[in-house]
Structure 1
Amino acid sequence: MYSQNELDTVLTKQNWTLVNTKLLAKMISEFMYEDMISPQLVQEKDSYTIYDLRVSDKKSYTFHAIARQFDSYDVDWKSIRILENGNEVEGSAVGFLLDIKPLIGMSSETTAHLIKEISQTLIADVHLLNKRVSSDKLITEDYANLEGYMTGHPWITYNKGRIGFGYDDYLAYAPEHQNEVTLSWIGVSRQISSFQSIEELTFEKLVNYELNEQDRSKFQNILEEKTDDPSQYFMMPVHEWQWKNVLIQNFTEEIANQTIIPLGQSSDRYLPQQSIRTFVNKSNPNKHHVKLPMSILNTLVYRGLPAERTLIAPKITEFIKGIYEKDSFLKDECRVILPGEIASINVNHSYYNQLENAPYQYKEMLGVIFRESIYTYLEEGEQAITLAALLYEDHNGKPYIKSLIEKSGMSTEEWMTQFFDVTMKPLLHYLYQYGTVFSPHGQNTILVLKDSKPSRLAIKDFVDDVNISDQPFEELNYLTDELKDVLRSEPPEGLTQFIFTGLFICHLRYLSNILANGELMEEQNFWEKLAESILSYQARFPHLEERYKLFDFFKPTFTKLCLNRNRMVDEGYSVGEDRPHASEFGKVRNALSHYKKITK
């Protein structure tokens, strides 16, 4: 039977129980944060509180949790007990979902789809249990390989749903399996496609850099055999899964008319990163990282490439890098790294594009973005890791960050002070000085280490996550209408939210938990260090005082953005013409509002 060996080895009763219990704790924590469930406080102990969630007259969940800053809760997975009719019973993540369905008003349709996403997440979690690598060893792992050990989005509970993949696809393409792949290439008529790039980069230069002479010759010969004028075709890579499951079925007419021509596989081998659709070249790490559409549903959205952003990607790169080149603070002091999306190819579908209000995933099926490799920016002795790596804990419970701090020879306080300094300065400068913000979550933000110490920051994924202020800032006056039409323009709190929620809520609150639970740093000290880093930047640039009030990280509350609620309550699995955004529900108390008074 197919995959019997994998299933016999990995999918054991012990493993299944463990991943279910850990995911159950995460679900309780995040659903409490998003105000979807309201457990009752039973008893307060010295170091934790006992809560009880009654899901029916006959069934309840009791557990220990620590109330954290930002209205968060850290639930101890080992403490969870489930009572039904007075007897303790085994629980499961899916069982909990069914139990709370009537409490939160979730539809049966949404619940059914979510059961599938959670089940596939659990399968991935079971496989990740077998990757038993200690944090001490993992801190020396290469950037591209390190991605294969990550466990997914820390906030979204169905974070590895990957709807569209079969189990065979999962084993072949999921990043945790670290299978190197080759990319398939196609020739696309220039009549149905477009090529965009930064200034001075031509399509010919790009292809000569990405493909070796043998591959170029092989592909060129195929085009000469099948077309009258090969010069009227672009060569572009596609993912094998996308080709087999989406492109053949949806671009059948173009394949029949030979405006799309299969060319075969190139020689280089690539490793998928956490997003699944972005690939690092392992044959030559200095070559570009390749971002390809994959029409699978994962963490709220289909992972395609939106046409309007694919088309504008190189110009967004020129905009972001243009700021950097003219700003000595960013360039000479922060020495921030900005791996640019320097070229793209987009292919619109001839029929779906004529369809008004078509579901967005049908307009994101075929394209490619080439991003500069992080390796081309690293200096001697530097090591790159995503911020997500800092949340890793090994099978013995040792945090990755603890191993880093130990190897650095610094105290936790010294290391975190340097971390906040390196991380916050460039993000704040782009926001305050230029009204421009990134979405600095754990995958987009790269920490560059030297001697295991925070040294520099790298920020990627401009095309999806760069946003600008709606205020009349002089620094934004020169933006073209083309850029303004694509970049999201946000009011002050909306723009501030990209850092507040994208970094503080989506990443730092989990890092704070890890440090507190490991007795490395008290939670209060952690957030005080963050506040000090913001205030230190603000003292450095007093001329921006009015903008500090506009983009205020110290106000008492922010609108609470919710990611699980979006799927479970608000949007369900309906698909409209636009990608879904985080739900807004209530307010979250801002821990930094207290530290402003202490640290000034």
Structure 2
Amino acid sequence: MTVVPVDPARDAPLVRSWLAAPASSWWGMQHLDEDAARRYLDAVRADPAQDGWLVLRNGGPCAYVETYDPAVVLLVDVWPAEPGDVGMHLLVAPPPATGRVHGLTSAVMRAVVGHCRDALGARRIVVEPDVRNTAVQAKNAEVGFRVLREVDVDGKRALLSVLDTARTPAADGGPDGDHAPEEDGPGAHLRPEHLDVAQRHLVAKAIAEFTHERLVAPRPDGDGWLLDTGAARYRFHARRHALEHWSIDEGSLARTAVDGRPLPLDAQDLVLELREVLGIPDTLLGTYLEEVASTLASAAAKHRRGGPSAGQLARGRRDGDLVAGFQDVEAAMTEGHPAFVAANGRIGFGLDEYRAYAPESGGRFRYRWLAARREHTHLALAADRTEDGHWAGELDPDTVARFRRTLRRRGLDPDDFVWLPVHPWQWQHRIAVTFAPDLGRQDLVDLGEGPDLHQPQQSIRTALNRSRPDRSYVKTALAVQNMGFLRGMSPAYMRTTPAVNDWVATIVAGDPALRDAGFRVLREHAAIGYTGDAYHRVDVASPQRKMLAALWRESPVPRTAPGERLLTMAALLHRDADGHAVVSELVRASGLAAADWVRGYLDAYLRPVVHCLTEHDLAFMPHGENLVLVVRDGAVTGAFVKDIGEEVVVLGAHDDRPVPDGIARILHPVDDDEAALAVFTDVFDGVLRFLAAVLDDDGVLPGAAFWELVGECVDRHAAEHPDRRRPLDLRVPTFEHSCLNRLQLRNTLTMVDLADQSSSLIRAGAMPNPIGRGTGRVATTPGAAGSTAVD
């Protein structure tokens, strides 16, 4: 086998004949005539980022190969290219009349990989075959390509895959095609090179957040910091920001034994060393350690897979595909919740299920559908929806007809049932087991999979409809343990969810200030819950009572104007493999001064949240995953808020803020100090402290300037609304420091009682307010690791 440059004048007829073969349909070039083929090959040869090659077997051509620079061709928006990366396409000649040559394609693949490595200096080879082309995927796997994720490129759904040439058989002396299973199996991420990175990051995050919550107190140590746990010592450099936020230099972090011996970084060891300080109940210690382990495994998988660069995520897709770009961001997130240490527990998922259903996998799945007997099931609808209209909007007529035929074949009347979607994991692990008697009584009937493909979102129970993005999100109960909760859904809550959403959406849509800010609600306009099981026939609370419920939430896609993009707010804090932050790239892409960019963002996010609280007593759970930002030319112009039914509260008494009959559960009257925590804790501490630190660390905007803009935003709102219903003072010198990790550490199974959230809070003294009157504003001294300055 030899590889030589293609000669368009000489080779166009041959390549054209190969492209015309039925097996070459994946190239989509069967229509080319000889002249068009020659022009195509000429264009490839003339492009400095591409090359065309012929593979010769015993001197005769047997394949055509294209190589390209993925930094500038085809994969710009989905692959964080580095020097030494080479993209590759392969077209093997159709079998000759004398018959197929056994092993030819495998031999060609090995020759092409060797050429890319040895002649082109490739350190990594990237390919993107169509997801349907299983034959070439098998050949890719044979030579060592590992699948990363599905991506949208060049008008197709492709399986992005990469090969590290240092590990190819020819490089390490192994036999052709002989790869150990762990090199590319489901557990390939569980190797030291990936877990070591995950451990370093999580230990740094744990030290930072436990320090922020005043559970530990590092002390100065030379030009850095020292945390002595008694069993080990951690030394590191860090920058300190407002709200006692620490940005730890992960590369500087080192752990030693008391006698000075180096020790590996291990997040579980850190938890055990701090066990008494953290106060984890003995009965729950194992659960918390397991959530830490699962968070590490998830981080290792993300590290191995890589992902788009921050710049790519900030720019969006060059083809302008709104939905694909939005979902690129959803799948790229690596951090989970920015404050929680054990943020990606997902206890219950196995390796294959993680790859299928974890948001960062970017995969697709189909919901399982059940027919639920109507007398045991409650379908609640928004005021502007009917049952027939709901199903017409969410299911094709053919699918509904199939459901009805299934019931009739069972001798059942379809009109006695309603349709209930369940997550495929939930079906296999919970419904088919825990509700076996209900299936046997035919109170529940399995209808099989629906036709639409869905993509999991960061809120792991929710999925976007990729087949029909204009259709609703679907959110279903998913009984995995994740970040302090078993992620079920209460049928009791589902009864009132659409009514709660209707009421909140009416308030938001009817407020001119919110309309002007581009602040909108994604309504949960339908919800369903099944209660015909034995668990509901006894008045005893149990997790099994939250395993069969679902809701439908409006998609933002149909409400997005031309030129606008959608971006989950959590993405602002995301850093790519090279440490670049999406928010910093957005500021650069916008062309705005950093202060102007932040001012626009605060007007779209902070200002509406403050307005809802002070004008309507409405408090959301406005963390990064619950806000979808609207972005135009890199600048934030509006936001959608979601997760209303389970999260929204009215912090005033019924006499002050009447709510409709039936939704009184959202009333949680509190005093002004606690009401203000809806901004101080959920916004300042839960979102803005991280954002301010990222912009400061990246040299985009100093922390002091950021908080000045926050203060200006609050003052401007107060000045424009002097008669607001609840004139909360957000400029107080301090506020109560409400801690999130302490909640999870206290009870990792049920972190908060949703029916009485106030009594669940854990406070750790007073926190200096970065916009408080008469307080110094903490800003980092540039270049001085571990020091602070107060202006």
Displacement after TM superposition at 1:355 (Å): 3.9
Secondary structure of 1:558's match?
A: strand
Report if aligned partners of 1:59, 1:82 keep a CA contact under 8 Å in 2: yes
Structure 1 residue 533 corresponds to structure 2 residue 716: no
1:158-557 matches, within 5 Å, as 158-331=342-515, 333-348=516-531, 350-359=533-542, 361-471=543-653, 474=656, 476-477=657-658, 479-544=659-724, 547-548=726-727, 551-557=728-734
Structure 1 residue 38 corresponds to structure 2 residue 217: yes
Counterpart code for 1:446: V
Displacement after TM superposition at 1:105 (Å): 3.9
Could you tell me how far apart the structure 2 residues matched to 1:373 and 1:595 are?
44
Task: Name the counterpart of 1:10.
Answer: 189
Could you tell me how far apart the structure 1 residues matched to 2:248 and 2:587 are?
26
Counterpart code for 1:571: N
Structure 1 residue 77 corresponds to structure 2 residue 256: no
Secondary structure of 2:256's match?
A: strand
* More helix as a share of residues: 1
Task: Name the counterpart of 2:153.
Answer: none
Displacement after TM superposition at 1:572 (Å): 4.7
Counterpart code for 2:294: Q
Report if aligned partners of 1:241, 1:294 keep a CA contact under 8 Å in 2: yes
Deviations 1:545-572 (A, max 9, x none): x722xx322222222222222222x225
Displacement after TM superposition at 1:53 (Å): 1.9
The runs of 5 or more residues in structure 2 that have no matched partner are: 1-179, 318-324, 778-791
Displacement after TM superposition at 1:583 (Å): 2.8
Distance 1:321 1:258, change over 3 A: same
Could you tell me how far apart the structure 2 residues matched to 1:325 and 1:420 are?
19
Displacement after TM superposition at 1:87 (Å): 2.0
Distance 1:597 1:119, change over 3 A: closer
Structure 1 residue 25 corresponds to structure 2 residue 198: no
Counterpart code for 2:596: E
Could you tell me how far apart the structure 1 residues matched to 2:465 and 2:762 are?
36
Counterpart code for 2:602: F
Could you tell me how far apart the structure 2 residues matched to 1:577 and 1:406 are?
42
Which moves more between the two structures, 336-345 or 305-314? 305-314
Could you tell me how far apart the structure 2 residues matched to 1:382 and 1:110 are?
46
Percent pairwise identity: 25
Could you tell me how far apart the structure 2 residues matched to 1:335 and 1:383 are?
14
Counterpart code for 1:69: A
Secondary structure of 1:352's match?
A: helix
Displacement after TM superposition at 1:30 (Å): 0.5
Secondary structure of 2:608's match?
A: helix
Could you tell me how far apart the structure 2 residues matched to 1:563 and 1:523 are?
23
Counterpart code for 1:342: H
Distance 1:374 1:485, change over 3 A: same
Displacement after TM superposition at 1:348 (Å): 2.0
Task: Name the counterpart of 2:112.
Answer: none
Report if aligned partners of 2:356, 2:364 keep a CA contact under 8 Å in 1: no
Displacement after TM superposition at 1:459 (Å): 0.7
Displacement after TM superposition at 1:363 (Å): 2.1
Could you tell me how far apart the structure 2 residues matched to 1:54 and 1:328 are?
54
Structure 1 residue 131 corresponds to structure 2 residue 311: no
Please point out which of 253, 271, 274 is paired with 1:97.
Answer: 271
Secondary structure of 2:378's match?
A: strand
Task: Name the counterpart of 2:333.
Answer: 150
Over alpha carbons, which structure has the higher Rg? 2
Could you tell me how far apart the structure 1 residues matched to 2:308 and 2:234 are?
33
| CA RMSD, Structure 1 to Structure 2 (Å) | 2.2
Secondary structure of 1:10's match?
A: coil
Displacement after TM superposition at 1:86 (Å): 1.9
Task: Name the counterpart of 1:571.
Answer: 747
Could you tell me how far apart the structure 1 residues matched to 2:734 and 2:447 are?
55
Displacement after TM superposition at 1:538 (Å): 0.9
Displacement after TM superposition at 1:450 (Å): 1.1
Could you tell me how far apart the structure 1 residues matched to 2:211 and 2:508 are?
41
Report if aligned partners of 1:467, 1:490 keep a CA contact under 8 Å in 2: no
Which fold has the larger relative contact order, with Cα–Cα distance below 8 Å and residues 6 or more apart in sequence? 1
Deviations 1:251-294 (A, max 9, x none): 22211110100001111100000011101000111000111110
Could you tell me how far apart the structure 1 residues matched to 2:492 and 2:666 are?
7
1:38-57 matches, within 5 Å, as 38-43=217-222, 45=223, 50-56=224-230
The runs of 5 or more residues in structure 1 that have no matched partner are: none
Report if aligned partners of 1:468, 1:495 keep a CA contact under 8 Å in 2: no
Displacement after TM superposition at 1:325 (Å): 3.7
Counterpart code for 1:338: V
Counterpart code for 1:554: R
Report if aligned partners of 2:622, 2:682 keep a CA contact under 8 Å in 1: yes
Which moves more between the two structures, 248-257 or 531-540? 248-257
Counterpart code for 2:346: R
Could you tell me how far apart the structure 1 residues matched to 2:188 and 2:534 are?
46
Report if aligned partners of 1:135, 1:400 keep a CA contact under 8 Å in 2: yes
Could you tell me how far apart the structure 1 residues matched to 2:773 and 2:202 are?
32
Displacement after TM superposition at 1:2 (Å): 8.1
Counterpart code for 1:79: S
Counterpart code for 1:445: L
Secondary structure of 2:567's match?
A: strand
Task: Name the counterpart of 2:91.
Answer: none
Report if aligned partners of 2:654, 2:667 keep a CA contact under 8 Å in 1: no
Displacement after TM superposition at 1:394 (Å): 1.3
Report if aligned partners of 1:441, 1:503 keep a CA contact under 8 Å in 2: yes
Deviations 1:155-195 (A, max 9, x none): 10111111111222111110111111111111001111011
Deviations 1:492-516 (A, max 9, x none): 3333222321122111111111111
Report if aligned partners of 1:513, 1:523 keep a CA contact under 8 Å in 2: yes
Report if aligned partners of 1:466, 1:487 keep a CA contact under 8 Å in 2: no
Could you tell me how far apart the structure 2 residues matched to 1:350 and 1:261 are?
13
Report if aligned partners of 1:175, 1:272 keep a CA contact under 8 Å in 2: yes
Deviations 1:28-57 (A, max 9, x none): 0001111221222334x5xxxx2222222x
Report if aligned partners of 2:194, 2:300 keep a CA contact under 8 Å in 1: yes
Moved >3 Å (runs of 4+): 1-4, 6-9, 102-109, 354-357, 471-474, 486-491, 572-582, 594-598
Deviations 1:112-141 (A, max 9, x none): 222211111111101111223211112205
Deviations 1:79-100 (A, max 9, x none): 2122211222222111211221
Distance 1:170 1:487, change over 3 A: farther
Please point out which of 709, 721, 739 is paired with 1:562.
Answer: 739
